[in-house]
Amino acid sequence: MSDDQMRKVFDEIGNRRDQLVTTLQELVRIPSVTGDEGAVQDRVEQMFRERGLEIDRWETTRDEILPYVDHVGDQPRYEDRPNVVGIRRGAGEGRSIMLNAHVDVVDPGDASFWTHGPWSGEVVGDLLYGRGSADMKGGLVTFLMALDALEAAGVELAGDIRIASTVGEEDGGFGSLGTILRGHRADAVLITEPTKLALIAAHAGSLVCRLTITGKSAHGAMRDSGVSAIEKFIPIFQDLQNWEADRNRELQHPLFADIANKIPISFGYLRSGEWHSTVPETLVAEGRIGLMPGEDMYEFQEQVRQRIMAVAERDPWLWEHPPKLEWVSGQFAPSETKQEEPFPQALMAAHQRATGQPLPVQGAPYGADMRLYTYIGEMPCVMYGAGDVAVAHQNDEHISIADVKTAAKTVAALLVDWCRTT
Ligand SMILES: [Zn+2]
């Protein structure tokens, strides 16, 4: 496509600030905390229909998920959590693409801590506020803006485009898994998670575990006749901290060079004891353990088990009462699409065309749906979008409207290049 035609598409996006803001506000104003995505998906389906997209809307069932439950976790609810895929068929002979955005959001917490209400969509200057504005309804609007601009400029593409609006990302990725199991495939997948307009070509994994330690209760005044589960947990915890430091030194990856702690081991929940003067007989600790791209999730789970058991073997009590290790909820495997591959290269060229600047390439320390598309769907997948993950799960989450426009320009240029014009 000539630079003149491309310029026309970019101008279309540049001139649509009002439409962008209204569309994003509409989506932000429909609360869609993970598990409760029905209402927002109704509106998304409508938005797809208004654009003449072919619609596939369905609910993924528990039976379909069960063989993959290690990856996404069992869901508290399966009903009224539809995925919606909008398809624009190409004229043929082009490469296809899947554009993915999740519509579920994390709970906003106490709304009184927000300066601009979590469901307000309030605009101040260049910023649009609200839960999900950055993570990642802004990403869905990015796709719509790109499609609208191409349409308005009369651009026809050869390859198929699928926009997958999915549920349940924040709790393991049940919606994206369902989309893959439904049979939706493409030559590449782009997720517009808030990456601050950088290309995320790799992300670390996060395995969620529950560790149960058994002690022996006794009156606190005679604590030596009991065994404190808390005291038995401490050496295990310290050993895991040492392991985290060792692994951070040993595991090197060019995209993670700037990240001080690439594979955090963090316990977010501890429960132990019944009474101040009773030696606690059980302790339950739940946490997340990070792993790097290239590490196999199941092999790593076994390494974690061996590491904990090695501590237990040095302790006579734990030797006889071994800690119990379980993997609970969705497990985020790590994922990487090599930046030399055609799809990341195409995205870099598109960003350059849209902004005149080279595209920074980075790794991310958090898990995302990307792993499901690469690992289970076996499609190249990367992330790139407006918004900053640093504000994503916080009060006063917001997104830069100018950055959404930039991301939409990049996506439009990517579609033109990847799917080819007719
Ligand atoms: Zn997200």
Domain boundaries, the chain: 3-203+334-419, 205-327
DSSP structure class, residue 408: H
User: For 287, what's the count of Cα atoms within 13 Å in the CB-facing half-sphere?
Assistant: 18
Centre of ligand 1 to C-alpha 368, Å, is 7
Centre of ligand 1 to C-alpha 205, Å, is 15
End-to-end CA distance of the chain: 10
How many Å apart are CA 30 and CA 27, to the nearest integer? 6
Centre of ligand 1 to C-alpha 107, Å, is 13
Centre of ligand 1 to C-alpha 170, Å, is 7
Centre of ligand 1 to C-alpha 316, Å, is 45
How many Å apart are CA 325 and CA 147, to the nearest integer? 48
For 293-314, the pLDDT digits (tens) are 999 999 999 999 999 999 999 9
Centre of ligand 1 to C-alpha 330, Å, is 15
Centre of ligand 1 to C-alpha 216, Å, is 43
> What is the domain class of 3-203+334-419 according to CATH?
alpha beta
What the block records as the tokens of 59 is 């609910």
Residue 369 near residue 100 (C-beta atoms within 8 A): yes
DSSP structure class, residue 377: S
Residue 278 near residue 220 (C-beta atoms within 8 A): yes
Instruction: Provide the pLDDT for residue 376.
Output: 95
Centre of ligand 1 to C-alpha 375, Å, is 18
Instruction: Verify cis geometry, omega within 30 degrees of 0, for the bond prior to 136.
Output: yes
Instruction: Provide the pLDDT for residue 421.
Output: 87
Centre of ligand 1 to C-alpha 131, Å, is 11
For 97-131, the pLDDT digits (tens) are 999 999 999 999 999 999 999 999 999 999 999 99
Centre of ligand 1 to C-alpha 67, Å, is 24
Centre of ligand 1 to C-alpha 137, Å, is 9
Confidence band for 320, pLDDT divided at 50, 70 and 90: very high
Mean pLDDT, the chain, integer: 96
CATH fit for domain 205-327, picks 3.30.70.360, 2.40.50.140, 3.10.510.20, 1.10.10.10: 3.30.70.360
Our CA angle for 90, 95, 96, nearest 5°, is 65
Centre of ligand 1 to C-alpha 193, Å, is 5
Structure pTM? 0.91
For 344-386, the pLDDT digits (tens) are 999 999 999 999 999 999 999 888 899 999 999 999 999 999 9
> Residue 52: pLDDT above 90?
yes
Centre of ligand 1 to C-alpha 279, Å, is 42
Centre of ligand 1 to C-alpha 52, Å, is 27
What the block records as the tokens of 232 is 């038995």
Centre of ligand 1 to C-alpha 136, Å, is 5
Q: What's at 338, amino acid-wise?
A: K
Average pLDDT over residues 398-415: 98
> Residue 329: pLDDT above 90?
no
> Residue 171: pLDDT above 90?
no
Our CA angle for 76, 48, 2, nearest 5°, is 130
The two beta strands, 82-88 and 189-191, are: unpaired
Residue 142 near residue 197 (C-beta atoms within 8 A): no
> Residue 330: pLDDT above 90?
no
How many Å apart are CA 380 and CA 367, to the nearest integer? 16
Centre of ligand 1 to C-alpha 221, Å, is 50
Single out the residue of 216, 238, 234 nearest to residue 225, CA to CA: 216
Q: What percent of the chain has pLDDT over 90?
A: 95
Centre of ligand 1 to C-alpha 65, Å, is 21
Instruction: Provide the pLDDT for residue 38.
Output: 98
Average pLDDT over residues 150-179: 96
Q: What's at 34, amino acid-wise?
A: T
For 345-356, the pLDDT digits (tens) are 999 999 999 999
Q: What percent of the chain has pLDDT over 70?
A: 100
> Residue 422: pLDDT above 90?
no
Instruction: Provide the pLDDT for residue 367.
Output: 82
Centre of ligand 1 to C-alpha 25, Å, is 18
Centre of ligand 1 to C-alpha 354, Å, is 24
Segment (H or E) for 267: strand 265-272
> Residue 227: pLDDT above 90?
yes
Residue with tokens 């959404």: 404
How many Å apart are CA 90 and CA 47, to the nearest integer? 19
Q: What's at 74, amino acid-wise?
A: D
Centre of ligand 1 to C-alpha 194, Å, is 7
How many Å apart are CA 194 and CA 169, to the nearest integer? 14
Centre of ligand 1 to C-alpha 402, Å, is 20
> Residue 241: pLDDT above 90?
yes
Bridge partners, 362 (sequence order): 200
Average pLDDT over residues 284-297: 95
Centre of ligand 1 to C-alpha 49, Å, is 24
Residue with tokens 């071994």: 322
> Residue 234: pLDDT above 90?
yes
Our CA angle for 292, 293, 294, nearest 5°, is 105
